[in-house]
């Protein structure tokens, strides 16, 4: 029987690393401020991007479309070919938009200095790890073998493609109306191009679960699951659901920074089918 540690960003923060999203906002402020007008997000004292992944799901394609739409169908000199030009322009601008966010995010992660961290706890040689972090804190600080760790969203110093994004959905107009007639217009493809950032920055959780199916299916012998530094947010909950489904009967220990969060963590695990009697909440000081 073995222990699986599920590690989130709070683990790195506990170790003194500057991995909070308000730090990302400071790092990429110029880029994010330039793109902010296309997102329906509230500004907080720490900046509008402190809830970074959820903020990406508030992209408003109509604002993006209108900012780049210079066509006037009422003009005497309007030509249908202008719709194709608009589509090309929106495609180019949407690609640049997504690339800018990804480039700044990768650059920020690459700049995090893991050498600032020092050991806070101990692990057994047989322990397994599912980490949502992009850093190599487990390897460099604790000497954990790569074979015992799954970086579910990629690892920066392994030059992986880093996975991040939102879990929102968008209601799309059906291809046909109630009479069976097409809803398409000459601008439908241009509108589709404007929606690209929303879909490109959506976290592909189902694909990632399928890609790592061998890992999840190997968890049958896990007797204890310890969650350290993960908020059990709804975006990532399908991963926990997959762990619970494959590690049946395991005892769950969730490390909680604030006592008032205890009920939230419990409710999130109950959604995944974990029995209430199998859930214990502890403080970081107990680790």
Q: Where are the domains of the chain?
A: 2-203
| Mean pLDDT score, 241-262 | 94
- Over the stretch 15-74, which tens digit does the pLDDT of each residue have? 999 999 999 999 999 999 999 999 998 766 666 788 899 999 999 999 999 999 988 777
Q: Is the pTM here over 0.85, yes or no? A: yes
**Least confident segment among 174-183, 190-199, 274-283:** 174-183
Task: Identify whether the C-beta of residue 169 lies closer than 8 Å to the C-beta of residue 198.
Answer: no
Task: Identify whether the C-beta of residue 97 lies closer than 8 Å to the C-beta of residue 63.
Answer: no
SS3 of residue 24 by DSSP: helix
Task: Identify whether the C-beta of residue 134 lies closer than 8 Å to the C-beta of residue 153.
Answer: yes
SS3 of residue 92 by DSSP: helix
The fraction of the chain above a pLDDT of 90, given in percent, is: 80
- Over the stretch 217-233, which tens digit does the pLDDT of each residue have? 999 999 999 999 999 99
| Mean pLDDT score, 230-249 | 96
Chain centroid to CA 262: how far?
23
- What integer pLDDT is reported at residue 248 of this predicted model? 94
Predicted confidence band at 79 (pLDDT cuts at 50, 70, 90)? confident
Q: For 141, list phi and psi in degrees, rounded to 5.
A: -95, -40
127/145 Cα distance (integer angstroms): 10
Both structure tokens of 41? 């997000």
* Average of per-residue pLDDT values in the chain: 93
Chain centroid to CA 125: how far?
29
- What integer pLDDT is reported at residue 97 of this predicted model? 98
Ramachandran quadrant class, 154 (left: phi over 0; alpha: psi -120 to 50; beta: rest): left
217/247 Cα distance (integer angstroms): 9
- What integer pLDDT is reported at residue 31 of this predicted model? 96
Reference 128, options 156, 147, 155, 153; nearest CA is 147
- Over the stretch 129-184, which tens digit does the pLDDT of each residue have? 999 999 999 999 999 999 999 999 999 999 999 999 999 999 877 776 576 666 67
The torsion of the CA quartet 216, 222, 223, 228, rounded to 10 degrees, works out to -70
Ramachandran quadrant class, 60 (left: phi over 0; alpha: psi -120 to 50; beta: rest): beta
pLDDT at 193 over 80: yes
> Rounded to a whole number, what is the distance in angstroms from the first to the last CA of the chain?
20
- What integer pLDDT is reported at residue 49 of this predicted model? 87
- What integer pLDDT is reported at residue 77 of this predicted model? 81
């Amino acid at each position: 029987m073995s222990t699986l540690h599920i590690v989130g960003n709070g683990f790195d923060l506990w170790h003194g690393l500057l991995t909070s999203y308000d730090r990302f906002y400071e790092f990429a402020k110029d880029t994010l401020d330039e793109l902010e007008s296309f997102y329906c997000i509230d500004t907080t004292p720490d900046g509008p991007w402190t809830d970074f992944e959820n903020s990406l799901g508030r992209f408003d394609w109509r604002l993006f479309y209108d900012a780049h739409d210079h066509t006037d169908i009422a003009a005497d000199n309007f030509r249908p070919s202008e719709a194709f030009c608009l589509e090309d322009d929106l495609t180019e601008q949407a690609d640049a938009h997504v690339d800018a966010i990804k480039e700044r995010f990768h650059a920020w992660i690459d700049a995090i200095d893991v050498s600032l961290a020092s050991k806070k706890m101990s692990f057994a040689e047989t322990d397994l790890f599912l980490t949502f972090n992009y850093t190599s804190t487990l390897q460099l600080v604790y000497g954990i073998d790569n074979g015992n760790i799954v970086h579910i969203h990629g690892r920066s110093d392994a030059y992986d493609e880093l996975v991040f994004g939102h879990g929102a959905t968008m209601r799309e107009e059906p291809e046909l109306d109630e009479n069976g007639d097409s809803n398409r217009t000459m601008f439908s493809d241009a509108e589709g191009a404007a929606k690209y950032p929303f879909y490109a920055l959506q976290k592909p959780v189902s694909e990632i679960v399928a890609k790592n199916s061998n890992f999840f299916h190997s968890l049958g012998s896990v007797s204890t699951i310890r969650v350290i530094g993960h908020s059990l947010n709804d975006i990532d909950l399908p991963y926990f659901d997959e762990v619970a489904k494959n590690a049946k009967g395991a005892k769950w220990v969730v490390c909680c920074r604030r006592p008032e969060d205890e009920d939230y963590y419990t409710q999130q695990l109950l959604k995944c089918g974990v029995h209430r009697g199998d859930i214990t909440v502890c403080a970081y000081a107990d680790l």
